[in-house]
């Protein structure tokens, strides 16, 4: 059985609001309400099963609401599966500017598809327009929505680059993502603070070392 996520948002309890909601997350929430359809009851059942399997009592007081909270959390973390992030790039503006446009340090949190643990970090997104530009905040929206999926960082980097290349037809696209993976810091090898860096370069950023060097100097420029 599939339950539309917007129907269940009405039963939010105050206990849920342990996090401050930014404008950005409100935007994401609105997008989810209109487009997401996640089977919350199936997730709730699965969480109960996991709690029992690890030796917990899912009916004890502190855990009673946990399956519902976790279901809502997954619906939010994976809301990008129901969305086309490229729609943010549909509105473009004619512009003769033909140098690098870079939005750097876009924060994001995604989910590693191997462990369903978060990886968090920043994305730097750059392009060289080919006669058309997009709104700067749209690049951040693309990163935000692409991040809301189970994935590996390598594919996330390529997905963001693909969307910009396809929708804007830019002369060059560069996406660099730096992130810390919980699956490396809190379990397994337990290396807190190690960063994974991935990079996808297209067009002139790939073929022209001078363009790529200029991009890297802009990314590394102090604030
Ligand atoms: Zn992992």
- Contact criterion met (CB below 8 Å) for 78 and 149: yes
Q: What is the pLDDT of residue 36?
A: 52
Which residue out of 7, 65, 113, 154 is catalytically annotated? 113
Give distance in angstroms: CA of 112 to centre of ligand 1.
Answer: 5
Give all strands (DSSP E) within the chain, no chain letters. 93-94, 101-112, 117-128, 132-133, 150-151, 172-181, 196-203
Mean residue pLDDT of the chain comes to 87
Which residue out of 112, 124, 144, 145 is catalytically annotated? 112
Compute the distance between CA of residue 109 and CA of residue 121 in angstroms, rounded to an integer. Answer: 7
| Residue 179 pLDDT class (50, 70, 90 cuts) | very high
Q: What is the pLDDT of residue 191?
A: 87
Q: What is the pLDDT of residue 182?
A: 96
Q: What is the pLDDT of residue 25?
A: 52
Compute the distance between CA of residue 158 and CA of residue 166 in angstroms, rounded to an integer. Answer: 12
What mean pLDDT comes out for the span 166-181? 96
Give distance in angstroms: CA of 145 to centre of ligand 1.
Answer: 20
- Contact criterion met (CB below 8 Å) for 161 and 202: yes
Active-site residue flag, 27: no
- pLDDT tens-digit readout, 136-158: 999 999 999 999 999 999 999 99
Q: What is the pLDDT of residue 118?
A: 97
Give distance in angstroms: CA of 117 to centre of ligand 1.
Answer: 6
78 phi/psi in degrees, rounded to 5: -110, 20
Give distance in angstroms: CA of 187 to centre of ligand 1.
Answer: 9
Give distance in angstroms: CA of 167 to centre of ligand 1.
Answer: 30
| Residue 20 pLDDT class (50, 70, 90 cuts) | very low
Give distance in angstroms: CA of 216 to centre of ligand 1.
Answer: 28
Active-site residue flag, 153: yes
Which residue out of 76, 115, 158, 180 is catalytically annotated? 115
- Contact criterion met (CB below 8 Å) for 202 and 173: yes
The DSSP secondary structure of 140-158, one letter per residue, reads HHHHHHHHSSEE-HHHHHH
Which residue out of 82, 83, 151, 153 is catalytically annotated? 153
What mean pLDDT comes out for the span 126-136? 95
Nearest to 74 by CA among 102, 23, 24, 39: 39
Active-site residue flag, 19: no
Compute the distance between CA of residue 144 and CA of residue 3 in angstroms, rounded to an integer. Answer: 24
Active-site residue flag, 158: no
| Residue 6 pLDDT class (50, 70, 90 cuts) | very low
Question: Is-above-0.85 flag for pTM?
Answer: no
Give the CA angle between residues 159, 25, 183 to the nearest 5°. Answer: 55
- pLDDT tens-digit readout, 21-45: 444 454 555 444 434 589 999 999 9
Compute the distance between CA of residue 167 and CA of residue 170 in angstroms, rounded to an integer. Answer: 8
Active-site residue flag, 82: no
What mean pLDDT comes out for the span 169-192? 94
Compute the distance between CA of residue 131 and CA of residue 10 in angstroms, rounded to an integer. Answer: 45
Q: What is the pLDDT of residue 223?
A: 87
What mean pLDDT comes out for the span 200-205? 98
Active-site residue flag, 18: no
Per mean pLDDT, which range of 26-30, 48-52, 123-127 is the poorest? Answer: 26-30
């Amino acid at each position: 059985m599939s339950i539309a996520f917007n129907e269940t948002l009405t039963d939010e309890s105050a206990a849920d609001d342990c996090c401050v909601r930014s404008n950005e997350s409100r935007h994401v929430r609105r997008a989810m309400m209109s487009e997401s359809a996640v089977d919350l009851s199936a997730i709730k059942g699965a969480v109960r099963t996991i709690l029992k399997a690890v030796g917990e009592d899912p009916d004890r007081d502190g855990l009673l609401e946990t399956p519902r909270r976790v279901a809502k959390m997954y619906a939010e973390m994976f809301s990008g599966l129901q969305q086309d992030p490229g729609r943010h790039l549909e509105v473009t503006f004619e512009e003769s500017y033909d140098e690098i446009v870079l939005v750097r340090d876009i924060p994001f949190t995604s989910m590693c598809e191997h462990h369903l643990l978060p990886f968090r970090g920043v994305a730097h997104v750059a392009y060289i327009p080919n006669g058309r530009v997009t709104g700067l905040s749209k690049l951040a929206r693309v990163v935000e929505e692409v991040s809301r999926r189970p994935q590996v960082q390598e594919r996330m980097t390529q997905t963001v680059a693909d969307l910009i290349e396809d929708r804007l037809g830019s002369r060059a696209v560069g996406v660099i993502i730096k992130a810390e993976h919980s699956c490396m810091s809190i379990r397994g090898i337990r290396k807190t603070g190690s960063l994974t860096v991935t990079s996808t370069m297209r067009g002139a950023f790939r073929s022209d070392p001078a363009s790529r060097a200029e991009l890297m100097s802009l990314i590394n420029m102090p604030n």
